[in-house]
């Protein structure tokens, strides 16, 4: 797709029409507006927070590869149990039996007493425990490493999204700024026309008094003045709305006295025609880059879901202290030798059946991948159409600029000739009013054509991914 970029004749007239009214409050240039928008736009701030979250997910992914250490503590009250005491009933009975052997008295009877106490100790009313558990994943069918890769891709996606959001905000600020500059110029043209028409009314009034003009001439001049004032009032209202829209896009509150100063881009400034080659567009359009990242992320997500068919091996180790008492106030210093429990082990888990959840999760992951691929194909076709449409719009804007430039030149010459003819009585007052209205109308249309050209050029830059 290639086009010749037409360069217009001088647009000095258009630039001369962009004089602003006297500034009453804070004045911002185009550069000021863009800088403030980059700092205060809520859309950019939201995209920045998404990037912060994405960075955090990468750190969390690395955390899954590290051991997990957990502290647990608990105290339990069991009801319906009697006090548990360490008794020596059997040992005492054996010592009192003449028939008991020394082995029964010194070994067997105490051992049975200890066994009975050990069984009864499970029924203490108050039981407590404190423990540390360390868990290290040794094998998780690639879930940890793949999860880190996905987090990194997601972070890159959010980085590209932030760049895209900034470019979009810049485009919106530029468009709103151009619209406001156009309205400022329209107000200036209307105010100049009103002043000119008022001078004409004064001239007609004097001519009526001297008998050189009729009441009809006064009525025609007054009608034109009323029409101009009505258009000016409407344009000023639109000017206020446009100013508020620009402030909102910049992320600022409404300010009644704020002003913006600047000029529309000159179509005669030899700007390069945007690169419309699709091979280059695919590299520049952030939306396609984001879809590429999403596609890669979803491909890795399939691997994670397929990991549900494989085992997970975890190394577990820990220390646990347990202590049981009859009453809560009986706690004493822990007997580490008797009450501490140290352990280490390997835990292997592998799902054998989960109601087809793993199988369906894989199906859904593949479906999401295909959906993203379809979106990518659709986006590429849509960008081709968008570029073609924007290129046609720009060509039309160039033709309209050429036409409106000729119209302004002709209207200005017509006004000069009509004014001179009217002053010597060769043209009617109606001819003079028509020439004045035609000149004003063509000036406004030319300014609108300059605005449309700027909008069309910016739109093509955005469509080709060159608007940064």
Q: Taking residues 120-124, what's their average pLDDT?
A: 62
pLDDT of residue 15 exceeding 70:
no
DSSP 3-state of 350: coil
Per-residue pLDDT band at 19 (split at 50, 70, 90):
very low
Count of CB atoms situated within 10 Å of the CB of 279: 7
197: confidence class by pLDDT, cuts 50, 70, 90: confident
Note the helical H segments in 325-356: 336-339
The encoded tokens of residue 114 equal 């200890």
**What would the two tokens of residue 20 be?**
């602003």
Residue 119: predicted pLDDT: 55
Q: Helices then strands (H, E): number in the chain?
A: 13, 6
Query: Is the pLDDT confidence value at 99 over 90?
Result: no
What percent of the chain stands above pLDDT 70? 87
Least confident span in 21-25, 284-288, 385-389: 21-25
The helix/strand/coil state of 69 is: strand
Highest average pLDDT, of 102-111, 120-129, 410-419, comes from: 410-419
Q: What is the pLDDT of residues 320-341, one digit of tens each?
A: 888 878 778 877 776 767 778 8
What are the backbone angles phi and psi of residue 358, rounded to the nearest 5°? -65, -45
Between 105 and 438, the higher pLDDT residue = 438
* Mean pLDDT across the chain: 84
pLDDT in tens, 50-87: 999 999 999 988 888 889 999 999 988 878 656 666 66
Which residues, at least 6 apart from 277, have a Cβ–Cβ distance to it below 8 Å?
1
Whether pTM > 0.85 for this model: the answer is: no
Quick one: pLDDT at residue 199?
A: 81
Mean pLDDT of 37-49: 94
- Range with the poorest average pLDDT among 49-58, 93-102, 284-293, 444-453: 93-102
Tens-digit pLDDT profile for residues 341-359: 888 999 988 888 888 888 8
Q: What is the mean pLDDT of residues 238-246?
A: 92
**Is residue 254 very low, low, confident or very high in pLDDT (cuts 50, 70, 90)?**
confident
Count Cβ atoms below 10 Å from residue 353 Cβ, excluding itself.
7
> Given pLDDT bands bounded at 50, 70 and 90, which one contains residue 431?
confident
Q: Are strands 27-28 and 126-139 parallel, antiparallel or unpaired?
A: unpaired
């Amino acid at each position: 797709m290639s086009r010749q970029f037409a360069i217009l004749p001088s647009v000095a007239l258009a630039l001369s029409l962009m004089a602003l009214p006297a500034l009453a409050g804070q004045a911002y240039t185009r550069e000021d507006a863009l800088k403030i928008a980059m700092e205060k736009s809520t859309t950019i701030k939201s995209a920045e927070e998404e990037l912060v979250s994405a960075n955090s997910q990468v750190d969390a992914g690395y955390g899954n590869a590290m051991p997990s250490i957990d502290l647990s503590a608990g105290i339990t009250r069991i009801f319906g149990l009697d006090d548990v005491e360490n008794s020596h009933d059997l040992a005492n009975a054996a010592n009192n039996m003449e028939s008991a052997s020394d082995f029964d008295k010194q070994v067997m009877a105490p051992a049975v007493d200890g066994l009975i106490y050990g069984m009864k100790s499970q029924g203490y009313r108050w039981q407590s425990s404190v423990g540390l558990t360390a868990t290290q994943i040794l094998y998780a069918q690639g879930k940890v490493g793949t999860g880190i890769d996905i987090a990194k891709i997601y972070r890159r996606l959010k980085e590209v999204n932030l760049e895209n959001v900034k470019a979009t905000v810049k485009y919106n600020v530029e468009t709103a700024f151009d619209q406001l500059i156009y309205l400022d110029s329209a107000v200036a043209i209307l105010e100049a026309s009103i002043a000119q028409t008022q001078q004409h009314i004064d001239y007609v009034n004097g001519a009526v008094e001297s008998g050189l003009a009729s009441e009809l001439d006064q009525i025609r001049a007054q009608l034109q003045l009323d029409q101009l004032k009505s258009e000016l009032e409407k344009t000023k209202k639109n000017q206020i709305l446009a100013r508020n829209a620009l402030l909102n896009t910049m992320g600022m509150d409404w300010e009644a006295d704020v002003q913006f100063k600047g000029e529309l881009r000159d179509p005669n400034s030899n700007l390069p025609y945007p690169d419309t080659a699709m091979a280059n567009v695919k590299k520049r359009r952030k939306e396609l880059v984001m879809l590429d990242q999403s596609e890669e992320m979803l491909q890795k997500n399939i691997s994670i879901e397929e990991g549900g068919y494989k085992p997970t091996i975890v190394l577990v180790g820990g220390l646990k202290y347990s202590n049981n008492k009859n009453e809560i106030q009986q706690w004493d210093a822990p007997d580490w030798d008797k009450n501490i429990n140290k352990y280490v082990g390997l835990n292997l888990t592998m799902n054998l059946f989960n109601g087809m959840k793993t199988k369906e999760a894989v199906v859904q992951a593949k479906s999401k991948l295909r959906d993203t691929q379809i979106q990518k194909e659709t986006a590429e076709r849509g960008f081709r159409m968008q570029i073609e449409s924007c290129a046609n719009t720009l060509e039309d804007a160039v033709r309209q600029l050429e036409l409106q430039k000729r119209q302004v030149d002709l209207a200005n010459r017509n006004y000069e000739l009509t004014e001179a003819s009217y002053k010597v009585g060769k043209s009617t007052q109606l001819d003079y009013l028509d020439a004045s209205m035609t000149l004003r109308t063509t000036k406004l249309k030319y300014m609108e054509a300059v605005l449309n050209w700027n909008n069309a050029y910016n739109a093509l830059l955005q469509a080709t991914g060159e608007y940064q």
